[in-house]
Amino acid sequence: MFNRKISFLLVLSFCFLLGMATKAEVENLERDKEAVTDSTTTVSDKGYRIEVGKVKLRGEERKEIRFISPDGNVVKTLEKYWYKENVSKTKGKWITEINHVAGVAEKKNAVLLWECKYSTNYDPRGKEGPYGLKKDYKVKVLNSRGEESLFESFTAYPTGALAIPFWSTGISRDGSTIYVYYRDSSDVFHVEIYDTMGKKLASATYPHEFKADMQISPDGKIFGAETFKKGEGKHLFFLNVETGETKLVKAEGDKDGGKWNVIIARLADNKRIVLWDNEGIRGSVTINFDELTDDITSRFNTK
Mean pLDDT of 250-277: 91
Looking at the DSSP bridge assignments, the partners of residue 159 are none
Distance of CA 238 to the CA centre of its chain: 17
The C-alpha torsion from 249 through 190 and 186 to 162, rounded to 10°, is 80
Average pLDDT along the chain? 84
Our separate counts of H helices and E strands in the chain read 2, 20
Say yes or no to pLDDT of 57 above 80: no
Say yes or no to pLDDT of 178 above 90: yes
DSSP reduced 3-state for 29:
helix
Q: How many CB atoms lie within 10 A of CB 201?
A: 18
Percent of the chain with pLDDT over 90: 62
Do the Cβ atoms of 107 and 175 come closer than 8 Å? yes
Backbone dihedral region of 257: left (phi > 0), alpha (psi from -120 to 50 degrees) or beta? left
Question: Which pLDDT score, from 0 to 100, does residue 15 have?
Answer: 41
Name every residue whose Cβ is closer than 8 Å to that of residue 196 and which is 6 or more positions away in sequence: 110, 141, 143, 149, 150, 171, 175, 176, 177, 178
Do the Cβ atoms of 214 and 168 come closer than 8 Å? yes
Do the Cβ atoms of 54 and 66 come closer than 8 Å? no
Say yes or no to pLDDT of 37 above 60: no
CA–CA distance from 258 to each of 231, 261, 263, 275 (Å)? 16, 10, 17, 20
Mean pLDDT of 69-90: 94
Say yes or no to pLDDT of 64 above 80: yes
Question: Which pLDDT score, from 0 to 100, does residue 17 have?
Answer: 39
Q: How confident is the model at residue 242 (pLDDT cuts 50, 70, 90)?
A: very high
Residue 249: phi and psi, rounded to 5, are -120, 140
Q: Which of 34-38, 202-206, 211-215, 266-270 has the lowest mean pLDDT?
A: 34-38
What's the rounded Cα separation, in Å, for the pair 167 and 184?
10
Residue length of the chain? 303
Instruction: Tell me which residue of 250, 261, 180, 187 sits closest to 214, measured CA to CA.
Output: 180
Q: Which of 152-161, 205-214, 283-292 has the lowest mean pLDDT?
A: 152-161
Question: Which pLDDT score, from 0 to 100, does residue 257 have?
Answer: 72
Do the Cβ atoms of 287 and 270 come closer than 8 Å? no
Q: Please list, residue by residue across 158-171, b when 16 or more beta carbons sit within 10 angstroms of its beta carbon and e when fewer do.
A: beeeeeebbbbbbb
User: Exposed, middle or buried by CB within 10 Å (0-12, 13-18, 19+), for 247?
Assistant: middle
Q: Are strands 189-195 and 177-183 parallel, antiparallel or unpaired?
A: antiparallel
Percent of the chain with pLDDT over 70: 83
Domain boundaries, given as residue ranges, for the chain: 81-209, 212-303
Q: Which of 65-69, 158-162, 228-232, 287-291 has the lowest mean pLDDT?
A: 158-162
Say yes or no to pLDDT of 121 above 60: yes
Question: Which pLDDT score, from 0 to 100, does residue 62 have?
Answer: 87
Q: How confident is the model at residue 144 (pLDDT cuts 50, 70, 90)?
A: very high
Instruction: Tell me which residue of 87, 79, 76, 85 sits closest to 58, measured CA to CA.
Output: 79
